């Protein structure tokens, strides 16, 4: 029996070695990742004992830690509440952190390695450690214009500086007040959390970046880009634009939203097709170009890649393998094509920036507690979406949309605006999604914006041009006024 016991001893030894190896993995190699998780209350407890750095928009703190007599020495507050809630996120003892509070936590909490030397000094000098601050790319005027434009609706706005990718406005309605979630009283936090979570309007959902919708006619920009890039089309190329497009392999047809032909005897030009948002012309164009060309172009604009990863932005989707009928629908932003407001703004921004898509970002810089600059986000190129020539052609076509097409509501006196409307059908029983995306000035773009309205509230029987274009105009004006004021 002893031989068997010796063999069993070896197995037992292996079991214990496995235990030791496993705790080594958990406590040493996995520890950093576990400690960084936002629902880890141990780390929160340690953090709550420290003064957390503010989140700045311009020079205004939109999230700030103040001394408190409550459970912890400091309490987080958000002076402007819902206005910046989707950007700041919340910072809760019970529910963890989100958005910037999560993405920039190391800096804000003072645990980032760039702050290490300072921490050592704090430790030696006995000074309570302090977190660094984070400045966002948002512009207050643009953010406020976006937010008030969305009042009473369910929707979102994203504005981007086309030349850098800096996000100038990121607004979504409804929003929520992050203050109760940072309350020292856990019951207050719980009540607020329950109210937000059970609200059917989902106020904590950041519709600007984390929600995708069918992009509808705004996707015609991508289809038009693919056509121009193919070399076979110019803005004045004549293409068929019948009242109804029979879908290959099926008995259904694709009609125009306005019912009727897009031009005399069912013929139109690429420019006019975009200007009046002709479904049949773009559907046929999609079939002609094929789904591979559309997908390639969509991906060059950022589809099928997650943007703004640190903010858990949604990935916009152009689906794999489509048959010709599906391709026709995809070409006008229907079928399974999905885009976030951020993605739509990225398409427009790339067109505005001579065809170069800049990687969107929200954190401009990180500052030490003494306001010394720790990190600055350098603008970086994400992709060349289209050639300079194509970008110019698309700009010309988009200017026509605002000048004399479906996007007239976005016109700004004295400024040439380039834009595109969209009204996308969703499933049966759901309201359509209203879109508008634009940039201005067309000859020297300062701002690209996308507006999506999921539920217009009181207003019915409207279109993207009527509903979303005025909001886009207000946001563009706010940015241009700001730039003008500074320049």
List residues with catalytic annotation: 217
Query: Which residue of 1, 151, 428, 460 would you call a contact of other proteins, by CB under 8 A?
Result: 1
- Output the six-digit token pair for 157: 């706005």
Residues in region 104-133 near other proteins by CB under 8 A: none
Selected range binding other proteins among 22-30, 241-249, 279-287, 350-358, rule: CB under 8 A: 22-30
Q: By CB under 8 A, is residue 252 in contact with other proteins?
A: no
Selected range binding other proteins among 26-34, 105-113, 214-222, 392-400, rule: CB under 8 A: 26-34
CB of 31 to other proteins, least distance (A): 4
Q: By CB under 8 A, is residue 185 in contact with other proteins?
A: no
- Output the six-digit token pair for 44: 């929160």
Q: By CB under 8 A, is residue 4 in contact with other proteins?
A: yes
Beta strands in 165-219 (DSSP E): 167-173
Cα dihedral across residues 291, 292, 296, 297: positive or negative: negative
Q: Which is nearer to other proteins, 19 or 201 (CB)?
A: 19
Q: By CB under 8 A, is residue 197 in contact with other proteins?
A: no
Query: Which residue of 49, 60, 70, 71 would you call a contact of other proteins, by CB under 8 A?
Result: 71
Looking up tokens 């879908």, which residue turns up?
Answer: 247
CB of 413 to other proteins, least distance (A): 53
Q: What share of the chain is helix, strand, coil (3-state, %, to 5)?
A: 45, 20, 35
CB of 191 to other proteins, least distance (A): 17
Q: By CB under 8 A, is residue 20 in contact with other proteins?
A: yes
How many Å apart are CA 157 and CA 402, to the nearest integer? Answer: 19
CB 224 within 8 A of CB 268: no
- Per-residue string for binding with other proteins, 27-46, x by CB under 8 A? xx-xxxxxx-x-xxxxx-x-
**First CA to last CA across the chain, in angstroms?**
92
Q: Which is nearer to other proteins, 42 or 59 (CB)?
A: 42
Find the helix or strand (DSSP H, E) in which 418 lies: strand 418-424
How many Å apart are CA 184 and CA 427, to the nearest integer? Answer: 43
Q: Which is nearer to other proteins, 96 or 131 (CB)?
A: 96
How many Å apart are CA 58 and CA 364, to the nearest integer? Answer: 10
CB 325 within 8 A of CB 250: yes
Selected range binding other proteins among 16-24, 110-118, 133-141, 389-397, rule: CB under 8 A: 16-24
Q: By CB under 8 A, is residue 8 in contact with other proteins?
A: yes
CB 475 within 8 A of CB 159: yes
How many Å apart are CA 373 and CA 132, to the nearest integer? Answer: 10
Site for other proteins (CB under 8 A): how many residues?
35
Alpha helix ranges (H) inside 115-219: 116-125, 140-149, 186-198
CB of 7 to other proteins, least distance (A): 8
- Output the six-digit token pair for 3: 């031989």
Which residues are near other proteins by CB under 8 A? 1-6, 8-9, 12-13, 15-16, 18-20, 22-24, 26-28, 30-35, 37, 39-43, 45, 71
């Amino acid at each position: 029996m002893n031989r068997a016991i010796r063999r069993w001893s070896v197995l037992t030894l292996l079991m214990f070695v496995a235990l030791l190896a496993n705790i080594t993995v958990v406590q040493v190699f996995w520890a950093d990742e576990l400690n960084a998780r936002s629902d880890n209350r141990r780390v929160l407890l340690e953090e709550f004992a420290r003064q957390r750095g503010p989140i700045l928009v311009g020079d205004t703190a939109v999230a700030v830690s103040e001394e408190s007599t409550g459970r912890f020495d400091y309490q987080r507050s958000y002076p402007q509440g819902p206005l910046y809630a989707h950007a700041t996120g919340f910072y809760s003892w019970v529910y963890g952190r989100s958005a910037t509070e999560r993405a920039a936590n190391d800096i804000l909490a003072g645990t980032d390695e760039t702050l290490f030397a300072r921490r050592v000094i704090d430790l030696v000098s006995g000074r309570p450690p302090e977190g660094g601050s984070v400045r966002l790319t948002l512009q207050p005027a643009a953010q406020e214009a976006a937010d008030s434009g969305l009042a009473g609706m369910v929707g979102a706005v994203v504005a981007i500086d086309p030349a850098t990718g800096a996000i100038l406005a990121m607004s979504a309605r409804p929003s929520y007040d992050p203050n109760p979630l940072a309350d020292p009283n856990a019951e207050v936090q719980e009540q607020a959390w329950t109210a937000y979570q059970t609200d059917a309007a989902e106020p904590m959902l950041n519709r600007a970046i984390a929600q995708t919708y069918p992009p509808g006619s705004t996707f015609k920009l991508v289809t038009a880009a693919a056509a121009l890039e193919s070399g076979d089309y110019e803005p004045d190329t004549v293409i068929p634009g019948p009242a109804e497009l029979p879908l290959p392999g099926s008995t259904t047809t694709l009609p125009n939203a306005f019912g009727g032909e897009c031009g005399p005897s069912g013929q139109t030009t690429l420019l006019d097709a975009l200007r009046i948002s002709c479904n049949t012309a773009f559907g046929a164009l999609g079939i002609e170009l094929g789904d591979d060309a559309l997908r390639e172009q969509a991906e060059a604009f950022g589809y099928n890649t997650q943007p703004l990863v640190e903010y858990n932005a949604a990935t916009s989707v152009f689906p794999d393998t489509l048959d010709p009928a599906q391709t026709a629908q995809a070409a006008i932003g229907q079928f399974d094509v999905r885009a976030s407001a951020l993605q739509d703004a990225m398409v427009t921004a790339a067109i505005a920036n001579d065809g170069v898509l800049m990687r969107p970002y929200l954190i401009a810089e990180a500052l030490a507690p003494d306001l010394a600059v720790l990190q600055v986000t350098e603008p970086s190129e994400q992709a060349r979406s289209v050639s300079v020539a194509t970008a110019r052609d698309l700009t010309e076509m988009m200017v026509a949309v605002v000048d004399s097409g479906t996007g007239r509501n976005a016109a700004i006196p004295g400024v040439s605006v380039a834009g595109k409307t969209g009204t996308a059908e969703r499933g049966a029983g759901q309201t359509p999604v209203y879109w508008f995306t634009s940039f201005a000035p067309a000859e020297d773009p300062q701002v690209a914006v996308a507006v999506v309205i999921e539920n217009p509230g009181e207003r019915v029987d409207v279109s993207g041009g009527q509903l979303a274009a005025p909001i886009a105009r207000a946001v563009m004006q706010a940015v241009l006024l700001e730039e003008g004021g500074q320049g």
